[in-house]
Amino acid sequence: MLASQSVTLTATASTRSRKNPDSKLAFQSLTHDFVIKSEVSSINFRVGADISLSKGIYYIEWSISETGHSSSNSDENHYHEPAKTKVEVISTSTSYTKNFVTEGFGGQTFKGTTSPDIGISVSNSPFSDVTVTLSLVSGTNENITF
């Protein structure tokens, strides 16, 4: 059980990184929004780097704020900030369009209203703002919709 009602983590790009990334690093925690409560034992988050950010080592610094229990527990801090998190930016690409790969169907035939799984992968995934549009390689078919 937590000594506090909740602990909220805040991520920021470290100004002591090799090169200050300013607003070129973004952080996102979709599941718990960086809030730890008694029923949450871990927080998953993503780090995104702007495509123009130079490759190198960067660090995330963490700060916390605690909400105390409304009982006799005081509002004093019970926890320390996590250690810095190292982020390595390796891409020097200026575009993602050539990096996306779709899985083929291996000659399978689909009939009726079957919806095949379409796998799309990328070796260097973008953090957000990506739209993937699927279409037939050539021609049209009124029986196929995407």
Residue 29 forms part of a structural domain: yes
Residue 103 forms part of a structural domain: no
Across 83-101, average pLDDT = 73
Residue 80 forms part of a structural domain: yes
Which H, E and C letters describe the chain, residue by residue?
Answer: CCCCCEEEEEEEECCCCCCCCCCCEEEECCCCCCEECCCCCCCCCEEEECCCCCCEEEEEEEEEEEECCCCCCCCCCCCCCCCCEEEEECCCCCCCCCCEEECCCCCCCCCCCCCCCCCEEECCCCCCCCCCCCCCCCCCCCCCCC
Is the pLDDT at 83 greater than 80, yes or no? yes
Lowest mean pLDDT among 4-8, 70-74, 84-88, 139-143: 70-74
Residue 14 forms part of a structural domain: yes
| pLDDT-based confidence at residue 133 (cuts at 50, 70, 90) | confident
Residue 55 forms part of a structural domain: yes
Residue ranges making up the domain that contains 30:
6-89
Percent of the chain's residues with pLDDT above 70: 75
Dump pLDDT digits (tens) for 99-121.
Answer: 677 776 666 777 777 677 777 77
The gap from C-alpha 80 to its chain's centroid, in whole angstroms, comes to 24
Q: How many domains, the chain?
A: 1
Pair 84, 62: CB distance under 8 Å:
yes
Instruction: Check residues 137 and 61 and name the one with the higher pLDDT.
Output: 61
Residue 95 forms part of a structural domain: no
Pair 3, 71: CB distance under 8 Å:
no
| pLDDT-based confidence at residue 79 (cuts at 50, 70, 90) | confident
**pTM of the predicted model over 0.75:** no
Residue 104 forms part of a structural domain: no
Dump pLDDT digits (tens) for 26-58.
Answer: 888 877 888 888 887 778 888 888 777 888 888
- Cβ neighbors of 32 (< 8 A, separation 6 or more) are 40, 43, 44
> Residue type at 37?
K
Residue 123 forms part of a structural domain: no
Across 82-98, average pLDDT = 73
